[in-house]
Structure 1
């Protein structure tokens, strides 16, 4: 097709109503931009242009629905990306004063004082976060993978239809509920029966967080296992292997990338948990002695220190809490990107692409 024919096709496809839709949407986007600028300046007139955007969107939806729907979805995507960017910019900006004052000591300082009187070290909280995450994943990863294998490969369809929605519902339970149960029952049991130094420690927090991460790992891993081609499993069974040998030697290796992504997402869930850990942990700044003592009374994580002290912090103290937020954000972002890369690798592998 020549350039002239292509141009003729484009002109032929142009519809007069598109001009009207673009005009209405242009007015709406302009109103939204003005509302955003007024919001940033703290103006009390922000609602006026925003109302204009709603009116323009309503008119466009009634008169030019297809075009309006397309551009509104595009706008929603842009707003989502911009919101994420503004959040990142804000927490980084607020963390700069603490970074300037403490420098690298903000991350690696291990000598007293660790927190307060103008000195802030996030090293104990980083150790606490890593410790609780390792405990949680030690519990959640094997149980989650085993549950995913059972649902995908072993359970009858009637059992799967009942159990899988039930597991997914666990993710909808508020974290404060998990924390309250952990504080009353698990912390109470360890205190009364095992005589731990304090009510609450890294192990009990990691145990509860691991239970909370189970739905994520089971759901994502089960989806990954279900994508393994049936021909691969049937071929293995045809040469005389048992169901377990097929799962161990064919299903798990073929879905390993997706299972790894599920575990990484579970790690991100464990690292970012706030309320359950805040309720259960003793909020004592410092390092356990010895460092591997997960039952001792000393403990704090990045999320718990933000939640516990954010309401009363100011100045450099508040900036140090924002620095903890930056560390959490970068860590969870890295894990999320890694899980996406691993999952895409699995899809390419199973799809026969290199």
Structure 2
């Protein structure tokens, strides 16, 4: 296996170059787990996910406890509650003073959703969002804002690895390059997207989800009039970065992510598959890791983990963090 090259990589897109991170600089991590305890939307495994990811980072990636910020809704410290303000401030802390070859890690386990896209960067017409513990009062956090805070300020050669264990999280960090299990860059496929939209509409109707039917119908219309391709081009023009940003998402934008049980403990399926795959084999390429995570989940779940990046990447390189 080959480690990422150290020299500048040129590319024929809006950002003319990027640099892979060697991940041998400063290491910082932000881990957020929200169970929404006592609410009708309560989850069981999100706080456990945070502890599992932290142990993994310290054991296998050389992170230190003192360089991690943890926000969970069982914390008695108000500053460690995953409120909207605390999450935004912690995101700013994560990327503050970032340097080339630093390795930053963001992990979110909680509810995710979608809201109407206002700037034309989403193929399906909807931005992805995450829900802080106080979202009913303070509001959700949109993928556009997460990109602006955590991706745009990073210098060339700085790594940010993000994991979203939440529903509708495929493009939750607005990274423009999405990769298939064959390691190839995915491009808009009008016929396939229209078929997927009709299939999603039928499923939503069968479940009585009228909102889902409406969203799927809009996606079909946007695909038919070429909005999907325009959104892809706009995203590459405005979201490509010289930094080395990687996102592992629990599912496609159109899918939900599951809570599950692992070794008798509640956990998010995505977080579990990431830790399990790398614990079994710490040395894997990006393509191998994506396939192994999908294989772990395939037996029980329909969700398909996604790999996206801030620049065109070689998925045959070894994943490091």
TM-score for the superposition, normalised by structure 2: 0.20
Name whichever structure is richer in strand by fraction.
2
Greater share of helix residues, 1 or 2?
A: 1
Which is greater in Rg?
A: 1
